[in-house]
């Protein structure tokens, strides 16, 4: 308990320090708590300030921001929370730290399947959960998620932990489409087709394909862009060159997509400016910047993806509501444990 209290106290102190030079209640400002790395969002914030004159103040952390806002309560300087993954967006809503966004602009720009039905979070960009396939050892150019349980893939699949939020999102979508019982059977089949125990991140799975340790891996689309353009670690360009992207279920319901998104803080001191920021982030200009900066897919219809993303092929998005996926996340996590997915293939 003492450790927890110290952590909360430190978190509040850090947030207060971060905004010390810019009072939370000042005019013409908006305070952002962000799980997204600063270099990814700075081009967006610069464009927002140029258009509106509103200054942006950012606190970045890779975990704990929702809990920090909850600990700060009514005194929180946070106006918006920027994050990735439906789990964190829905988690913020469940923590009670958000408030509904009421905006005709947002409703027009962002399709309903990428918004919370009650307005507590707004999707900004999509990333698809796809298959990285070896150019040398995989001949087929179509695949389905269901097919990953086919014995023909035995010993040929690499993936990260089943309990990672990206994996949970995919499994939750399978529950929505097939029900709990069939999804558990499917995941047990995928487990038995693994080349090794799940570990590492999405890039390391592609590295394993490159090394011949497996033939296909499961990952997010944007990692291809980051590997292809990684001049600091050129070996990642070699990994990327060894694979091609297959978009699962492209001839059926479409590929599972997760999203980055934004939520309006419950006690936002600059709520009007925060709403302006959220509306801007859903605009054509911001959607295009987002797509170029992080190789993601705009949620606003009609905004083109980057040329690099276009080169990977056409994405048909599963139209399943992200809110429905959020509802199935707890059961998805339970199924991962039930089948011992992270223990690797059964003997």
Give per-residue pLDDT as tens, 79-94.
999 998 999 999 999 9
Return d(Cα 329, Cα 238) in angstroms, integer: 35
Burial class (CB in 10 A: 0-12, 13-18, 19+), 308: middle
Residue 231 inside a domain? The answer is yes
27: confidence class by pLDDT, cuts 50, 70, 90: low
State whether 8 and 112 are in the same domain.
Answer: yes
State whether 164 and 220 are in the same domain.
Answer: yes
Domains held by the chain: number:
2
Tokens encoding 120: 């507590």
What pLDDT, on a 0 to 100 scale, did the predictor assign at position 346? 78
pLDDT tens digits, 265-306: 999 999 999 999 999 999 999 999 988 888 999 999 999 999
State the DSSP string of 111-168. -GGGB-TTSS-EEEEEEEEEEEEETTT---S---TGGGGSGGGTT-EE---TTSHHHH
Give residues with Cβ within 8 angstroms of 219, minimum separation 6. Answer: 129, 130, 131, 132, 202, 203, 205, 206
State whether 91 and 117 are in the same domain.
Answer: yes
State whether 17 and 100 are in the same domain.
Answer: yes
Residue 317 inside a domain? The answer is no
Residue 245, CA atoms < 13 Å, CB-side half-sphere: 23
Helix (H, G, I), strand (E, B) or coil at 104: helix
Tell which residue, 226, 222, 258, 276, has the closest CA to residue 32.
Answer: 276
State whether 305 and 200 are in the same domain.
Answer: no
The CATH number linked to 267 is 3.40.190.10
State whether 210 and 304 are in the same domain.
Answer: no
Statement: residue 145 has pLDDT above 70: yes
Contact (CB, 8 A) for 132 and 216 = yes
Q: Provide the residue range defining the domain that includes 48.
A: 2-125+258-312
Return d(Cα 64, Cα 127) in angstroms, integer: 23
State whether 170 and 267 are in the same domain.
Answer: no
CA distances from 279 to 106, 114, 159, 242, 293 (A): 6, 14, 36, 40, 19
Residue 74 inside a domain? The answer is yes
Residue 318 inside a domain? The answer is no
Residue 176 inside a domain? The answer is yes
Statement: residue 30 has pLDDT above 60: yes
Contact (CB, 8 A) for 88 and 165 = yes
Helix (H, G, I), strand (E, B) or coil at 284: helix
State whether 82 and 192 are in the same domain.
Answer: no
State whether 25 and 84 are in the same domain.
Answer: yes
What pLDDT, on a 0 to 100 scale, did the predictor assign at position 347? 52
Residue 171 inside a domain? The answer is yes
Return d(Cα 129, Cα 144) in angstroms, integer: 11
Residue 338 inside a domain? The answer is yes
State whether 106 and 141 are in the same domain.
Answer: no
pLDDT tens digits, 59-116: 999 999 999 999 999 999 999 999 989 999 999 999 999 999 999 999 999 999 999 9
Residue 205 inside a domain? The answer is yes
State whether 134 and 78 are in the same domain.
Answer: no
State whether 52 and 22 are in the same domain.
Answer: yes
């Amino acid at each position: 308990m003492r450790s927890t209290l110290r952590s909360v106290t430190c978190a509040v102190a850090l947030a207060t320090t971060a905004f010390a030079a810019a009072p939370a209640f000042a005019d013409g400002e908006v305070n952002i708590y962000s799980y997204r790395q600063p270099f990814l969002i700075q081009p967006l914030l610069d464009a927002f300030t140029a258009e509106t004159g509103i200054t942006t103040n950012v606190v970045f952390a890779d975990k704990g921001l929702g809990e920090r806002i909850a600990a700060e309560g009514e005194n929180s300087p946070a106006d918006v929370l920027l994050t990735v993954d439906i789990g964190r967006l829905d988690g913020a809503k469940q923590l009670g730290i958000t408030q509904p966004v009421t905006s005709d602009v947002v409703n027009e720009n962002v399709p309903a399947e990428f918004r919370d039905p009650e307005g507590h979070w707004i999707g900004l960009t999509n990333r698809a959960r796809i298959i990285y396939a070896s150019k040398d050892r995989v001949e087929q150019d179509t695949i389905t998620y269901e097919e990953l349980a086919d014995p023909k893939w035995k010993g040929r699949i690499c993936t990260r932990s089943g309990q990672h939020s990206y994996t949970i999102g995919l499994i939750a979508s399978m529950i929505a489409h097939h029900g709990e019982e069939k999804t558990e059977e499917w995941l047990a089949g995928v487990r038995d087709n693994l080349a090794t125990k799940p570990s590492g991140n999405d890039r390391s799975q592609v590295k394993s394909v490159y090394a011949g340790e497996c033939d296909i891996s499961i990952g997010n689309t944007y990692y291809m862009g980051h590997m292809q353009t990684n001049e600091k670690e050129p070996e990642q360009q070699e990994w990327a060159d060894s694979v091609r992207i297959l978009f699962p279920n492209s001839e059926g319901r479409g590929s599972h997509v997760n999203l980055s998104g934004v939520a309006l803080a419950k006690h936002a001191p600059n709520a009007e400016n925060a709403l302006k920021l959220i509306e801007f982030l859903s605009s054509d200009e911001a959607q295009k910047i987002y797509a170029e900066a992080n190789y993601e897919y705009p949620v606003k219809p009609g905004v083109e993806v980057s040329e690099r993303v276009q080169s990977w092929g056409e994405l048909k998005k599963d139209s399943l509501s992200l809110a429905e996926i959020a509802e199935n996340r707890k059961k998805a996590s339970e199924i991962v444990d039930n089948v011992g997915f992270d223990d690797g293939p059964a003997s």
